Structure formats: structure tokens, C-alpha cells
Amino acid sequence: MVRRRPRSSGRSASNWGCPARRFWSRRARPRQSRTCSTRVPLLTAAGAGRIVIVTDRYHLPRARLVARRMGLDATGAWPRVPGPVTARRAWLWLREGGAYLGYAVQGRGRG
């Protein structure tokens, strides 16, 4: 199943040696745990070993936490964003830091 994806995601995936036919993307924005839980059977059936999660840098730690809790061997890649740190970027890092702690402490993201 190959879907359209942003160019930066495709570049990151190809840098990790992921052929285009193996690249899956999600279009909708459901909860992470639902996204992973629907992908685990597909990845298992496809014989996937280690997977690469391509997302924003600030979001990657939480995405990997959920993937590990679902039993996936996951690493990550992110598109490089040039330029200075803006207030928006700082806010995103703070928000994700809080979300990561919430997931870690509450045990969220388990199948």
C-alpha cells in the first residue's frame, strides 16, 4: 500500500534505505495508539522487522514510545527544518514534552 506523502518524508525514508513500495503514510490524524494498532497486523503480515517513523522532530519521541509499547521495533527520521528557533517551535517542543510525560506516566499507547 503506497500513498502520497510529503517530499521531505520520502527523502527521509529513502535515506534510511526504505524502498517506495514499502512506505506507508497516514492521511488522517487519529490518535497515535489507534494508528499503530491498525498498522501492527499489517506490518507483521508483511514480515517487517525494524520500522522507520517519519514525523516532526518534536513529535518523534512520543511516536516511538507508542510504537515500542505496541511491540514494534521502531527508529525515527525527520525532515530538517532550517532557520532559527521560533516561538511556535518552542511551543511545539513544550507541548510534546508534556504529552510525552503524560503518555509515559499514564501508560498510554498500549495495545
The CA distances from residue 8 to 15, 47, 69, 80, 101, in Å, are 10, 26, 27, 8, 28
pLDDT recorded at residue 31: 56
Q: What value does the mean pLDDT of the chain take?
A: 77
DSSP 47-82: T--EEEEE--TTTHHHHHHHHHHTT-EEEEE-----
**Among 36-45, 72-81, 88-97, 102-111, the range of highest mean pLDDT:** 88-97
